[in-house]
Structure 1
Amino acid sequence: MHNLYSCFTALATCALFPVTAYSQQPAAEQPTHRPALLRAGVGQSLNGTGDYKVLKAHLEYAPQLGQHWRLGSRVAYIGGNEPYDFGGGFTIPQSYRAVNLEQEIYWLPFGNNKTVEFSLGAGVTGGYAKLTSFSSAWVHDGEFGYSARYERGFQVGYIVSTGLDVALNPDRTWRLGGRLALQNDTRGNILPGAQLQISRAL
């Protein structure tokens, strides 16, 4: 009986040992928290429809997906105006205004939550825009004229971007960086422009 009890005790110890060893693994091996980012950005782009500068500002929520991916869901405002100089003292009014919802997915080849994050992104955009421009212009017998172009309504398109963020503190809760984006939609072609953005980890 004593030998049977000893064998039972030895088997129980062997069975429990893996559980005990697993529970005592260093905390560093446990999965780390990967925060989402709240980003605010502002900068300029060029309106390819009229080749003038427009303001672009955005607010973005960017959660992480695994080690090398991040989503970017944002609301963006794009707007600006600049008269077209036809020459001879003649000008034509031009303006572009849009409020968009934009969805991108970013690939970070060097990983998420690093001191320096580099990303390449692509996605879709949709919103409401107003465009004032012209399709043709002329001078006849000293009189200037042009064919005005007015558009307003919903739009859809695509967007591609590249970005670089640098952590501002050891905990990487604050980041400062910039992005370049090319946006093409049914109301205006926004050529590459630059936005400065600040991020806060949630």
Structure 2
Amino acid sequence: MKLFYPLLIAIAACTGAQAQTQPAPTSHPKSQLEFGVGTSLNGTGDYACLKTHLGYNTLINRHLSAGTRIAMISGTKVKYFGPDASVPVSYHAVNLENEVYFAPFGNDGRVVVALGGGAFVGYGQQYNFEYAQYARNANNQMEFTYKPKQTNGLQVGYIASLNTDFWLDARQNWQVGFKLAIQNDNRATVLPGGQLKVSHRL
């Protein structure tokens, strides 16, 4: 019994010394730079727009993260109503978007699935038409006419998304993924679509 206490003290001292000599585990950086490119369908005019974004994401904890990005959307189309009847339509916008992501299975695995939700503000310009029709003119001949409609200015709205990302390397420095999103602004411009994403830890 007299040898038990000195032995216990010696074991505790050795354990403490080993704990001090072992380096503290290094955690992954909690921020990453993201680039995305894909399409968004202009629900108002039913035509595809190119959407690209450059973003900065931050990990909050194992299940939550947040992202801020600059997004550019651009698309044009000519709508045909007959051989000699057409109307050009277009949509262009630059938005500042912000989302919070919830990863129910955690964001530290090889595959990360997350639900996103947030808001955006930006400047948009859309060229469309109020009506397009065939009508008889003064000579009693059928003639195609349309009334153009152009809207531009500040726009705000919400965005919701489903994100799936895959880490390419064991050190979790490079990530690729896919984003399905839908957004709607104060002019009722609905833009569902999807983007491919590439991310790199900073």
Instruction: Quickly name the TM-score band, shorter chain normalised.
Output: 0.7 to 0.9
Q: In 1, Cα distance between the equivalents of 2:178 and 2:21?
A: 37
> Match for residue 57 of structure 2?
62
User: Deviation at 1:143?
Assistant: 1.5
Does the 8 Å CA contact 1:48/1:188 hold for their aligned counterparts? no
CA deviation vs aligned residue, 1:101-145 (integer Å, no higher than 9, x gap): 001000011112321111100000110000100111121122111
Please, what TM-score do these two structures have when normalized by structure 2?
0.84
> Match for residue 106 of structure 2?
111
Does the 8 Å CA contact 2:43/2:192 hold for their aligned counterparts? no
Please, what TM-score do these two structures have when normalized by structure 1?
0.84
Instruction: Choose 38-47 or 85-94, whichever is displaced more.
Output: 85-94
The reply to whether residue 137 of structure 1 matches residue 118 of structure 2 is no
User: Deviation at 1:25?
Assistant: 7.2
> Match for residue 127 of structure 1?
122
> Match for residue 24 of structure 1?
19
Q: In 1, Cα distance between the equivalents of 2:47 and 2:92?
A: 13
What stretches of structure 1 move > 4 A for 4+ residues in a row? Answer: 25-31
Partner SS for 1:82: strand
Aligned ranges 1:1-202 → 2 under 5 Å = 21=16, 24=19, 32-141=27-136, 142-187=142-187, 189-202=189-202
CA deviation vs aligned residue, 1:62-114 (integer Å, no higher than 9, x gap): 00001100101000000100011223431111000000000100001111232
The number of aligned residues is: 188
Q: Are residues 144 and 152 of structure 1, via their aligned partners in 2, closer, same or farther at CA, if it must alter by over 3 Å?
A: same
Does the 8 Å CA contact 2:51/2:72 hold for their aligned counterparts? yes
Does the 8 Å CA contact 1:34/1:113 hold for their aligned counterparts? no
Identity %: 41
Q: Which amino acid aligns with 1:155?
A: Q
Q: Are residues 199 and 53 of structure 1, via their aligned partners in 2, closer, same or farther at CA, if it must alter by over 3 Å?
A: same
Q: List gaps (5 residues or longer) in structure 1.
A: 1-9
Q: In 1, Cα distance between the equivalents of 2:22 and 2:167?
A: 24
